[in-house]
Amino acid sequence: MVDQLPPLPLALKAECLDRRRRAVQETLRAKGLDGLVAYGNGRHSFLASNPAWYLAGFRQLGPHMAVLLPAEGDPAVIVAPTWDAGRAQEQIGLPDLVAVEPADFLPAVQAALDRLGMRRGRIAVAGGVQPRLISEAWPVMLRNPELGDKLVSDLSRIRDEWSLACVRKGAAIAEAGYRFILETARPGMPEYVLAAESEAYMRGLGAEDNFQLLSASQHNRAAHRTSERLLAAGDVLLGEITPSVDGEYVQICRTAVIGDPTQTQLAAFDLLDGALRSAMAAAKPGVAARDIVEVMNAPIVAAGYEPYTKPPYMRTRGHSMALGSMDPEIAIDSDEVLLKGMVFVLHPNQYLPETGYIMCGEPVIITDDGAVPLTSRMGRLETIPA
């Protein structure tokens, strides 16, 4: 059991944030743009990017935040509400920072744009998921603003040192959380109790958030949210564990059997584990995401399960969860090409008729030698005493 994990070096964070903003400014100048508005809506999810958090290094608690980044010069930050000003100033560390009430957010942004001289030029907006009130304000406030999400996502899909430090710590938390689950789960225990205790444990290790699917059945149809069901001998326990460290999510997918696994279950897990390892070996820079799907599916198809490698039994074979970018998605229709330094979860999670749904997946980083796991040990079919 892990009692604590070392803190991350904040000097590295400051250095990387400065490099991120400078890299965006270089791109702005190269494209003839005069500035970028990066917006954050405060609803943090591993299914959506947060451009403002990526450039400010700050998890907002209120509904709005904006980073105003001119092509030349220093940025300005506007956060809401006002009571979060002290925390924002301490963590962001930029001199031009204003905290306002939510109702005053847009007027404050406009005033800052005027102060920086950004309303007179070509401005891009990286908004991520925006409320309608906000998305409709940009064309009024700015002259024909351009789409700027790719200015951030093209940079952030290649992880810098701070992002990698966060995901490595997140992977360690996820692994520790799963060990806690294996040591804590027992027949008769409600799923929601196990989920709550493991959630508290991972937050104690430094996870500021955690998307977790934790459920069990004698024959799982899919992974799903925790319920009131009592764990029982013979159950297959599924865990999709996704902690976040400073906004960077990282995911592991795990399967355990309460009691002794059957030979059929062991063979099924070995099939998926082999598919995962083949895909990892093939996932090198320059390889298309759809080709990785074909490599992963090949042994499953060869075993006679081709119909189960398609919807509704399977949607995607992996995906990114970066703070600034959702690229790549490892899907059969994806045109994305893998790049060195990309980080994402790769998973042949699969329903098989003989065993039910099985989860098997690792967070990986793309290297010249293929996808390397960020975990200390790849998942295996674990057993929990019955």
Q: Is 1 exposed, middle or buried (0-12, 13-18, 19+ CB in 10 A)?
A: exposed
pLDDT band at 120 (very low <50, low <70, confident <90, very high): confident
Q: State whether 43 and 176 are in the same domain.
A: no
Range list of β-strands (E), the chain: 35-40, 65-70, 76-79, 97-99, 123-126, 146-147, 209-217, 236-245, 248-249, 252-258, 318-319, 343-346, 350-352, 356-358, 362-367, 370-373, 382-384
Boundary (domain end) residue, out of 94, 129, 156: 156
In a domain, 4, yes or no: no
Section 281-305 average pLDDT: 98
Q: Is 214 in contact with 338 (CB distance < 8 Å)?
A: no
Between 343 and 144, residue with greater pLDDT: 343
The CATH number of whichever domain residue 214 belongs to comes to 3.90.230.10
Q: Is 46 in contact with 211 (CB distance < 8 Å)?
A: yes
Q: State whether 249 and 372 are in the same domain.
A: yes
Over 90: is that where the pLDDT of 34 sits?
yes
Section 327-337 average pLDDT: 92
Q: State whether 132 and 203 are in the same domain.
A: no
Range of the domain at 188: 161-384
Q: What is the pLDDT of residue 44?
A: 85
Please give the angle made by the CA atoms of 115, 120 and 122, to the nearest 5 degrees.
115
For residue 282, the number of C-alpha atoms closer than 13 Å in the C-beta half-sphere is 21
Determine the 3-state secondary structure of 155 from DSSP. helix
Q: State whether 168 and 128 are in the same domain.
A: no
For residue 264, the number of C-alpha atoms closer than 13 Å in the C-beta half-sphere is 8
- Residue (of 286, 283, 352) closest to 318 by Cα position: 283
In a domain, 226, yes or no: yes
Q: State whether 149 and 220 are in the same domain.
A: no
Q: What is the pLDDT of residue 302?
A: 98
Q: State whether 227 and 208 are in the same domain.
A: yes
In a domain, 5, yes or no: no
Average pLDDT, the chain: 95
Section 79-87 average pLDDT: 97
- Residue (of 384, 379, 348, 44) closest to 241 by Cα position: 379
Boundary (domain end) residue, out of 156, 182, 198: 156
Over 70: is that where the pLDDT of 3 sits?
no
| Candidate from 308-322, 333-347, 363-377 with smallest mean pLDDT | 308-322
Q: State whether 228 and 303 are in the same domain.
A: yes
Q: Kindly state the percentage of the chain with pLDDT values over 70.
A: 99
Compute the radius of gyration of the chain from its Cα atoms: 22
In a domain, 130, yes or no: yes
Over 70: is that where the pLDDT of 208 sits?
yes
Predicted model pTM: 0.95
Section 295-304 average pLDDT: 98
Section 77-89 average pLDDT: 97
Q: How many domains does the chain have?
A: 2
| Candidate from 39-43, 80-84, 243-247 with smallest mean pLDDT | 39-43
Q: State whether 323 and 186 are in the same domain.
A: yes
For residue 313, the number of C-alpha atoms closer than 13 Å in the C-beta half-sphere is 17
Tell me the per-residue pLDDT of 38-70, one tens digit each, with 9 for 90 and over: 999 988 888 888 999 999 999 999 999 999 999
Q: State whether 201 and 244 are in the same domain.
A: yes
- Type of residue at 196: A
Q: State whether 61 and 200 are in the same domain.
A: no
Please give the angle made by the CA atoms of 169, 64 and 146, to the nearest 5 degrees.
95
In a domain, 2, yes or no: no
pLDDT band at 324 (very low <50, low <70, confident <90, very high): confident
Q: What is the pLDDT of residue 78?
A: 98
Q: State whether 146 and 166 are in the same domain.
A: no
Boundary (domain end) residue, out of 120, 136, 156: 156
In a domain, 3, yes or no: no
The CATH number of whichever domain residue 105 belongs to comes to 3.40.350.10
Q: What is the pLDDT of residue 2?
A: 53
Dihedral sign for Cα 252, 182, 170, 224, please. Answer: positive
Over 80: is that where the pLDDT of 1 sits?
no
